[in-house]
Structures are given as structure tokens and as C-alpha cells.
Amino acid sequence: SSCSVHDGIELEKKGVPTAVICTEPFRPTVEMVSKVRGMPDYPVAYIPHPVGSLTDEQLRGRAKEIAPTIRTLLTG
């Protein structure tokens, strides 16, 4: 999560639209890294935890749920 946010911020600074997805328990880490990297309001899409134990069907469901948020993050 912290590496994803770091990379996303660096790419955004270079003009590359990004969409970082993290699970809820990592929110405090994401917020800290965003502040340290100089973008305290960096937008991140959050999904429920965990994802590692989900079936393919459940993962597709999560992807469908978060897709509109990702679209907004990428297109503004």
C-alpha cells in the first residue's frame, strides 16, 4: 500500500493518471505516505479487506463495485 501510493504520486507528478486501490486497514498508512510525499489529499480507492481469500467471482464483484471510482480517479 505505501509503495503503491508513493508510485502513484510520483506518476501523477509526471502527468500520468493513476488509480491506487487499497483495502481499508491500510488507510492510515496511505494517509501518512500521502502527507509525507506532499500530496495529503491524494485520492485512493478503498475496498473491504481481505481480498486474498476471495473467489474469482467475488473479486469480479469487487472490481465492478469499484470501477466507477477508478474511472473518476483516472479521468477527473
The 10s digit of each residue's pLDDT in 24-51 is 999 999 999 999 999 999 999 999 999 9
Residue 76 has a pLDDT of 85
Letter for the amino acid at 66? I
Taking the domains of the chain in order of start, what are their residue ranges? 2-75
How far are the Cα atoms of 15, 28, 62 from residue 57, in angstroms, in the given order? 34, 29, 9
Position 54 confidence tier, pLDDT thresholds 50, 70, 90: very high
- CA dist 19 and 73 (Å) reads 6
Percentage of residues in the chain having pLDDT higher than 90: 97
pTM (2 d.p.): 0.89
- CA dist 48 and 25 (Å) reads 8
